[in-house]
Amino acid sequence: MPMTIRPINKEDIKDIFKINNSVQGNPWTRNAIQAEIENPLSLGWVSLDKVVITGYIFIRKNGSESEIMTVGVSPENQRKGIGEKLISHALAQLPQGSTVNLEVSHLNEGALTLYKKIGFIVTATRKSYYPDGSDGLCMQLNT
Ligand SMILES: CC(C)(COP(=O)(O)OP(=O)(O)OC[C@H]1O[C@@H](n2cnc3c(N)ncnc32)[C@H](O)[C@@H]1OP(=O)(O)O)[C@@H](O)C(=O)NCCC(=O)NCCS
């Protein structure tokens, strides 16, 4: 069965938390994930291999401005094209002419490479933005 993508629901919190906790330097709490799902401005999707959740993405949409809040793929499923498909799927749901922003650590080479491949460009740098002292790169894409 090929990979599928569907909207996130509250039953997914446990699986998203587990993946997020294993791949993010500053993981979200369960409450933060739940609040994101309940946020009316938030859109979220999970990727599945059969019934197993392999990744997730959250986007906040406010008119023509959107922001990728977080995206993650479980360690054993990385480099299989899932992250790219999740981002492409999310971008395809936004109105044409949207501006999409995100922030990423300058040390996160994998995510940076992926975002650049999709077409995001760096628009600003926030010095020592993250708790580990790394810079935050502000990136933007116009759909
Ligand atoms: C970033 C992340 C979501 C990418 O997901 P993924 O499913 O592994 O990525 P894909 O397989 O779709 O990669 C697509 C392309 O992105 C680039 N890329 C992805 N991961 C990379 C890595 N670790 N190093 C270099 N390039 C990478 C490559 O160009 C890749 O294409 P290729 O495999 O044909 O070379 C995943 O590594 C992850 O969960 N990281 C931890 C969480 C995180 O950093 N999230 C982003 C900030 S919130």
Task: Kindly provide the residue ranges of all beta strands, DSSP E only, lying in 29-112, ordered along the sequence.
Answer: 42-49, 52-62, 65-73, 99-105
Total tally of structural domains belonging to the chain = 1
Q: Is 76 in the pocket of ligand 1 (CB under 6 A)?
A: no
Domain with residue 23: its CATH number is 3.40.630.30
Does ligand 1 have an atom closer than 6 angstroms to the CB of 80?
yes
Length of the chain: 143
User: How many angstroms does the Cα of residue 115 sit away from the middle of ligand 1?
Assistant: 9
pTM over 0.85: yes
pLDDT, tens digit only, all 143 positions of the chain: 689 999 999 999 999 999 999 999 889 999 999 999 999 999 999 999 999 999 999 999 999 999 999 999 999 999 999 999 999 999 999 999 999 999 999 999 999 999 999 999 999 999 999 989 999 999 999 99
128 Cα–ligand 1 center, Å? 23
| Residue range of the domain that includes 98 | 4-142
